[in-house]
Amino acid sequence: MVISDQSGNSYSDPNCNCTANTLVIEHQDGTQTSYYHFPQNGVYPQYGDQVARGAKIGVVGNTGYSTGPHLHIQVNPVGDLQSEQFKFEVKLAAQGNVKGCYIPVQGEQLWSTN
């Protein structure tokens, strides 16, 4: 699924009835990853494109119900309504070390290197 034609923000304008620009990627194992809040025309893949690991998928935005520019990421497991943790490759703020397959802990400052 790709939605990239929205320009409004319903948090700052409750009458907007806006939705977030969205990208949903279906993975080989059947899980789906959803990304939200891209700016108008800020989603790079088109519907049906294959997306390789590390590919640029879009621009951080503020569409839909959003309090400020960010990227909302949601993993949708196959046949399971529970949330699932997923791992990042990150640079730890304090040490500047890069860690792969890392699950962040609350309050930790991180930079993505993906």
Lookup result for tokens 């923000």: 9
**Above pLDDT 70, what percent of the chain?**
68
pLDDT band at 87 (very low <50, low <70, confident <90, very high): low
Measured between alpha carbons, how far is 53 from 69 in angstroms, rounded to an integer? 23
Q: What is the pLDDT of residue 55?
A: 82
Q: Which residue in 62, 76, 87, 79 sits closest to 24, CA to CA?
A: 76
Q: Please give the residue that has the higher pLDDT: either 80 or 61.
A: 61
Q: Which domains does the chain have, with CATH numbers?
A: 1-81 (2.70.70.10), 84-114 (no CATH)
DSSP 46: P
Higher per-residue confidence, 108 vs 6: 6
From edge to edge, which strands make up the β-sheet containing 72-76? 2-3, 21-26, 32-38, 72-76
Q: Which amino acid is at 37?
A: H
**Most confident stretch, 24-28, 46-50, 51-55:** 46-50
- Average of pLDDT values for 87-97? 63
Residue 102 has pLDDT above 70, yes or no: no
